Structure 1
């Protein structure tokens, strides 16, 4: 097979550190010759494992007794000739093999994401599948794993490529109408295909209205704890995180910056964020902490707005603006007052839920935890249609919708402009999977990959 690259890359593809087995992978035109140099024997048949003694070609020192495999391109992960060395996982073994490979002509250490990028360049992966692979490597929860596997299986690619193919089909008719106008159609072909294109635009628009479901699952559902000083934010943070991550004190203004903890809530990733108490600031540092707190509140998927029981039902003025559909009102320190005084049936504003807790007496905490889990499940439970998982996808889809809105205005008015609008929409969709116009984003996409992937 003719490779797109003249050099051969190598890297430790398994995790660093001591392990029972470590896998070193080579990819490129010199992978097979390098294996013969290391073993001094003819390579095994492709896809057949063989036990081989690896030696340093420079001094003959024994490196390891390893299991080796060869994969002939294009039937390999990268589409190139690939060799895998399954070594014993000691540091000296791995270091000796990598050092021997580094001294061979035509070989060099791989950069982050280079194996996956070569797989993309050889047509083994599209960009959504490559991104799914990266998400799978970094998955912390069961839900993240499932979403990544679904994307790796091509669920997003199939959806976006179907939309793109339909647009290309409509574009062919529009261009034919420009070159060979049909006098029997008073509206022209643009008018005839307009309903189908608008239907497609609506499908894309509906896909965008997902509440950031896929992005929240990939990045973590953001729950921000906010309230006035001494409302019990840090105490609640420590209780929910089951760890002393925030300093608790009766002194107002103790928390000056946002403190974030990653949680696995029923298989879903959650980013729990404690923020500075909101009040008239007592200095420049506290003012900056409050500014950051309010910024986190704006970005939150769910806000836990804390109000002390002895203040309730009065809502502090600084908290009123945050009581919307993304807020859960949490009445804290209920041990300080009579619960008859605390309980109220009517929710203020548009808040989605209310809970009553006392961290001191461990009252209401299980109920609060269950309510939070219910919000998280409702927001991130998988749907039948695949969810978009990245801002890059969202922007490209928004661009496609914008082009199709312009098409609607140009259809029946200017056939050339209408065709160009559809062409640009198809191009926006193609940029998601990597069919067109992605050279400027490839470095960004593969930068986050691990070395060896």
Structure 2
């Protein structure tokens, strides 16, 4: 146990401000002494008890609330813990926190310190820690479901199983190294290890070949609205956002910069991006920069919504569709469809536009169909329903490193078992970093910095 863990930490774990109930939690060897000082007699373990909470020394009543005593190691942090559930007024919270601070050996918790202690005491692995952080930050139902699966250990269990397989192969390879003159047995063992390494590598590649679904779901699906100037891109953004997020004007080129709006679309997190219109080169330096930024966002978009307008199409499809990405996954939208004399014939006259979605950002016509299609595409991109997916770039990087070593194992020769053993060790080490089993001190501060005080 580190020196810091000789302290008992405390913090408000619920949100600040007025509320019906506030939760103040403690963790450390002195948690029981605090309960005795503020709310004697100490409640039975893991039983909620109603107590008058008083100031130590003077015995001044501060509040009447619920007290929980949670002795370790069967607690969230693995240490002795306690919780005070008090009325959520600022004066009550301040009074109880101040009273706890009067007990010797107490100090306020740092950001994420409760969860960090849970990790350091073996109660959680790093993927579960990240799942908790994602659960706190979840803004949509799909994000909540994914975070819950990870928080419950699905991802860590998979990586631990792979690591256990590698450790078993390492142990068996020792027979080849220690008994090199035992006839065919070492050769058979080494060949078997090669086959198992190949199978494991295939399983990892299938896991990584997920279209970054977990990362998209965690970070948000990038949907870029693009098209020529004055086709109604900003009007569409405002309709989908249900507010005036972008300036709308009749003059072409009004949008000069990228505008982002975060949406919850049928439970999926979508970052809707309005961009400057694309057209032939212009003498306006600011507009040129806007178009350059548009092209950059098109290159990194998860989904492109290419907007044209019925009047532009009637003037000629070449102009209406110029600069459009050649991609079967692009979602085509025809705005100002209420201005078309014969919309059906117009769509048939333009190659590739028969599946375009006609809308009117002015009247709202067709928007329900567009939103439904966006939700369907978002679900396909996020892969909701998959139980074990990567959620962070560091997972992908570590798995990539692991695969490099496994590929060398598969192509290794029996005559060099020591080199094969070293690659197996390094592969297991890379997996261990994901769950926090080895060499992760440089990651901890960055990970726990994301947490709020009290968690």
- TM-score, length-normalised on structure 2? 0.92
Cα gap change, 1:431 to 1:444, in 2 (>3 Å): same
1:407 lines up with 2:409 in the alignment: yes
For residues 386 and 54 of structure 1, the distance between their equivalents in structure 2, rounded to whole angstroms, comes to: 45
For residues 73 and 282 of structure 2, the distance between their equivalents in structure 1, rounded to whole angstroms, comes to: 63
* Structural mapping, 1:45-56, within 5 Å: 45-56=44-55
Deviation at residue 404 of structure 1 after TM alignment:
1.1
Deviation at residue 116 of structure 1 after TM alignment:
0.7
Matching residue of 1:299: 300
Deviation at residue 295 of structure 1 after TM alignment:
2.6
Indicate conservation of the 8 Å contact 1:188/1:412, yes or no.
no
For residues 152 and 442 of structure 2, the distance between their equivalents in structure 1, rounded to whole angstroms, comes to: 25
Cα gap change, 1:150 to 1:96, in 2 (>3 Å): same
Indicate conservation of the 8 Å contact 1:190/1:418, yes or no.
no
Matching residue of 1:177: 176
Indicate conservation of the 8 Å contact 2:309/2:336, yes or no.
yes
For residues 356 and 194 of structure 2, the distance between their equivalents in structure 1, rounded to whole angstroms, comes to: 48
Indicate conservation of the 8 Å contact 1:305/1:323, yes or no.
no
For residues 249 and 8 of structure 1, the distance between their equivalents in structure 2, rounded to whole angstroms, comes to: 60
Cα gap change, 1:395 to 1:77, in 2 (>3 Å): same
Matching residue of 1:118: 117
- Number of matched pairs: 449
Hey, which bits of structure 1, 4+ residues long, moved more than 4 A?
1-4, 185-188, 281-284, 315-318, 345-348
1:190 lines up with 2:187 in the alignment: no
Moved more, 47-56 or 430-439: 47-56
Cα gap change, 1:410 to 1:84, in 2 (>3 Å): same
Moved more, 167-176 or 73-82: 167-176
Indicate conservation of the 8 Å contact 2:239/2:364, yes or no.
no
For residues 159 and 436 of structure 1, the distance between their equivalents in structure 2, rounded to whole angstroms, comes to: 17
Deviation at residue 206 of structure 1 after TM alignment:
0.6
For residues 16 and 255 of structure 2, the distance between their equivalents in structure 1, rounded to whole angstroms, comes to: 37
1:210-259 per-position Cα deviation (integer Å, ceiling 9, x unaligned)? 11111111122221111222121100101112221111112223222222
Matching residue of 1:342: 346
Matching residue of 2:76: 77
Matching residue of 1:165: 164
For residues 344 and 422 of structure 1, the distance between their equivalents in structure 2, rounded to whole angstroms, comes to: 59
Deviation at residue 180 of structure 1 after TM alignment:
1.7
For residues 276 and 13 of structure 1, the distance between their equivalents in structure 2, rounded to whole angstroms, comes to: 44
Deviation at residue 276 of structure 1 after TM alignment:
2.1
Moved more, 41-50 or 55-64: 55-64
Indicate conservation of the 8 Å contact 2:179/2:186, yes or no.
no
Matching residue of 2:272: 272
Unaligned runs of 5+ in 1: none
Indicate conservation of the 8 Å contact 1:127/1:432, yes or no.
yes
Cα gap change, 1:23 to 1:186, in 2 (>3 Å): closer
Deviation at residue 335 of structure 1 after TM alignment:
3.0
SS at match of 1:5: helix
Indicate conservation of the 8 Å contact 1:324/1:352, yes or no.
no
Cα gap change, 1:325 to 1:171, in 2 (>3 Å): farther
Cα gap change, 1:77 to 1:290, in 2 (>3 Å): same
Matching residue of 1:444: 446
Matching residue of 1:314: 318
For residues 18 and 354 of structure 2, the distance between their equivalents in structure 1, rounded to whole angstroms, comes to: 49
Moved more, 388-397 or 78-87: 388-397
Moved more, 202-211 or 402-411: 402-411
For residues 112 and 353 of structure 1, the distance between their equivalents in structure 2, rounded to whole angstroms, comes to: 51
Cα gap change, 1:34 to 1:375, in 2 (>3 Å): same
Indicate conservation of the 8 Å contact 2:21/2:88, yes or no.
yes
1:102 lines up with 2:101 in the alignment: yes
For residues 346 and 196 of structure 1, the distance between their equivalents in structure 2, rounded to whole angstroms, comes to: 54
Cα gap change, 1:357 to 1:218, in 2 (>3 Å): same
SS at match of 1:310: helix
* Structural mapping, 1:220-259, within 5 Å: 220-259=220-259
1:123-148 per-position Cα deviation (integer Å, ceiling 9, x unaligned)? 11111111111111222222211111
For residues 347 and 166 of structure 1, the distance between their equivalents in structure 2, rounded to whole angstroms, comes to: 54
Indicate conservation of the 8 Å contact 1:120/1:127, yes or no.
yes
SS at match of 2:307: strand
Deviation at residue 179 of structure 1 after TM alignment:
2.0
Unaligned runs of 5+ in 2: none
1:432 lines up with 2:434 in the alignment: yes
For residues 57 and 294 of structure 2, the distance between their equivalents in structure 1, rounded to whole angstroms, comes to: 60
Cα gap change, 1:340 to 1:192, in 2 (>3 Å): closer
Indicate conservation of the 8 Å contact 1:3/1:28, yes or no.
no
Indicate conservation of the 8 Å contact 1:327/1:352, yes or no.
no
Indicate conservation of the 8 Å contact 2:175/2:186, yes or no.
no
Indicate conservation of the 8 Å contact 1:334/1:356, yes or no.
yes
